[in-house]
Chain A
Amino acid sequence: MTDTAMTTEAIKQEERQSKIRANLKARHAAEKRFRSYGLVAIGAALLALSTLFFTIISNGASALFQTEVRMTIQLDSTLDPETMRAGDYQILIKKSLRDMFPDVARRDRKDLYAVVSNGAWYELLNHVQANPDLVGQTIEIWLPAADDVDMLMKGYIDRELPESDRRVNDQQIAWIDALVANDAIEKKFNTRLFTSGDSREPELAGFAGAAVGSFYTLLVTLALSFPIGVAAAVYLEEFAPKNKWTDLIEVNINNLAAVPSIVFGLLGLALFLNWFGLPRSAPLVGGMVLTLMTLPTIIIASRASLKSVPPSIREAALGMGASRLQVVGHHVLPLALPGMLTGTIIGMAQALGETAPLLMIGMVAFIADIPGGPTDPATVMPVQIYLWADSPERAFVERTSAAIMALLAFLIAMNLSAVLLRKRFERRW
């Protein structure tokens, strides 16, 4: 009797175990499936990212080099660099070209002059003004080639196309080939890209003006949004009573973070430009508009960071007889600061990449000068990218990608510093 009972019990036990085993198989399979979904998701993200980087780098890498022509210029001793005008330098360059190709017919000379950049005289002028003792000598100088020549040298213009469809005619190709044969034309590192302001001539255009504009804009944004954001977060988190009003404020701050940035641009246009009469196109106003946009991000991040400070620290300080302000100033704020800085950097990175609101306040203008201060007219990196992407010249395509590369480098550097900052100052309890 007991034996049978025991065997039935044993059989039941065996059944239970086999049920668990069968179930276990399904559970493991589910986990495997879940992991593979995750891997696919990460793979898709990485693929998108690498495609982005590959396209941008392969498009933009060639912008790091610019075709230049070696010119021999005779600076007559009768010239006075102080009184010489643009035209005089253009004449010198044209003369040098004619000397290089003496057989060119008068009617083809315009095509010959078009080999060298329209703005090459400006570099010659700068060179002579920097070295006045060169007057009276014959100098050799590398001057930028025209953008079409540059494109041909980089292989973006197909020589096989019929002449009428080509931006460079057969004769020009012949001259260029002659220059190549003489080593008088070469691709050199494009310092202008990093040191010049914008230009209508792609070969002379650089993003230094936009980068400096971005710098001033971010400086203004940081100077305004960090103190305001931190003060607001500290007040809301540590001092404000918890009631309907603070709830309302919290909801609205979260809403503000989701408002399309163009709206902030319109607000800036109406308020800062039309009402306060601040200068148009200025990084000062750009920074103020971006402050409106960045504030919610900083406030939300700062509040989260304040919330993560353990209450035991506050209790300890209160129990010692510290006032509310001392509790915050001596203990909570120092512990929350790394998180606040991380949030701020992320907000700044957002602001750095922002275009739409700045269009509204006139930072989209063509500005060739590098701004000297936050009230000078300026543009910013993303707007510069927008302007270049809109330009018809083929040579602006690679410059657009190069500017994107520079902007991405800044963004990566900022986000990296946010991560490092968090790692460096993170405390565990």
Chain B
Amino acid sequence: MAAVEQVVQSEPGTGRVKMRGDNVRVYYGEKQALFDVNLDIYEREVTALIGPSGCGKSTFLRCLNRMNDVVEICRVEGSITMDGQDIYAKDVDPVHLRAQVGMVFQKPNPFPKSIYDNVAYGPRIHGLVSSKSQLDDLVEESLRKASIWEEVKDRLDAPGTGLSGGQQQRLCIARAIAVKPEVILMDEPCSALDPIATAKIEDLIHELRENYTIVIVTHSMQQAARVSQKTAFFHLGNLVEVGDTEKIFTNPEDERTQGYITGRFG
């Protein structure tokens, strides 16, 4: 498997745990969506969350930046820490947390504003820049890091919604990294894209890993194998197995994992 070779070649992260989920249980009203999930996310590594539809992988992802707070009937128990700090503690402001834990969504969702304003939005609301030239530099830097600068540098005033799907998604990544988060969450970032756009995003994920901790939910096992160092397999709200991507894909311990990655169900 070529994909696995790639994973073997890539250098490991710092080996430090960036975020840790401890007995995470999530309820939507009466229904329990996650059962006692214990998962460590390592710094400067890509952690892929895989599993069949409705297995709770997106739910877990959205717990990491408290996006579930907006869902009224949603209740999170257990603890999730970032750098040892409980992110669900009373004194943690979810607005501040989301500046540190950025998110890229399944469907590219640029604001119906100009490309420039899309990227500048985060720095502006968080008051990160003090001058126009500083903001210009930050926008260019973010667009470059998201490998879309060359395509849009001449039309920064054009609406972000006018770009192609793949470009829109890279714009959303640029928008997320403009606030210099520590962790980037990606919820099936390529599911609405064609293979070429997908390949570009995957290359981008490789580059971003040097500076950011990335958690990616994906339906595509090949994608998980290509981009991640750690893989966590979810099934029916349980974390079935987690480990080095190479091991999960070549020698899984649980037969459900094996069944899923070999395509017997899912």
A: which residues have CB within 8 A of B? 241-242, 310, 312-323, 326, 330-331, 335, 427, 429
Contact = CB atoms under 8 A, between A and B. Distances in A.
A321 B72 contact: no
A321 B109 contact: no
B125 A319 contact: no
Contacts of A331: 111
Interface of B: 65, 67, 70, 72, 95-99, 102-105, 107, 109-112, 121-122, 125-126, 161, 172, 175-176, 179
Given A321-B179, A322-B125, A316 B96 contact: no
A37 B67 CA distance: 51
Contact of A319 (B67, B72, B96, B112): B67
Contacts, number: 61
Contacts of A326: 125
Given A314-B70, A320-B125, 10 more contacts: A312-B105, A316-B109, A318-B70, A319-B67, A319-B98, A319-B102, A320-B179, A321-B99, A321-B122, A429-B161
B125 A312 contact: no
A319 B103 contact: yes
15 contacts: A315-B67, A315-B109, A316-B175, A318-B70, A318-B98, A319-B65, A319-B67, A319-B98, A319-B102, A320-B176, A320-B179, A321-B126, A326-B125, A330-B125, A427-B112
A313 B111 CA distance: 6
B115 to A, nearest CB: 14
Contacts of A312: 105, 107, 109
Contacts of A330: 121, 125
Nearest to A322: B125
Nearest to A314: B70
Contacts of B72: 241-242
Contacts of A310: 109
Given A313-B111, A326-B125, A427-B112, A320 B70 contact: no
A320 B249 CA distance: 33
Contact of A320 (B97, B112, B175): B175
Contacts of A321: 95-99, 122, 125-126, 179
A321 B72 CA distance: 18
Contacts of A320: 98-99, 102, 121-122, 125, 175-176, 179
A425 to B, nearest CB: 11
Contacts of A314: 70
B173 to A, nearest CB: 12
Contacts of B96: 321
Contact of A335 (B103, B107, B112, B126): B112
Nearest to A428: B161
* Leading 6 A-B pairs by shortest Cβ distance: A319-B103, A321-B98, A312-B109, A321-B99, A316-B109, A320-B122
Of B125, B126, B179, which is in contact with the most chain A CB atoms at under 10 Å from its CB?
B125
Given A319-B103, A320-B175, A321-B99, A313 B109 contact: yes
Of A313, A315, A317, which is in contact with the most chain B CB atoms at under 10 Å from its CB?
A315
A322 B95 contact: yes
Contacts of A316: 105, 109-111, 172, 175
Contacts of B70: 314, 318
A331 B105 CA distance: 17
A318 B97 CA distance: 11
A23 B213 CA distance: 63
B231 to A, nearest CB: 24
A319 B111 contact: no
Nearest to A312: B109
A242 B112 CA distance: 28
A324 to B, nearest CB: 9
B176 A319 contact: yes
A331 B99 CA distance: 18
A99 to B, nearest CB: 76
Contact of B111 (A241, A242, A317, A323): A317
A162 B112 CA distance: 76
Contacts of B99: 320-321
A313 B108 CA distance: 10
B126 A315 contact: no
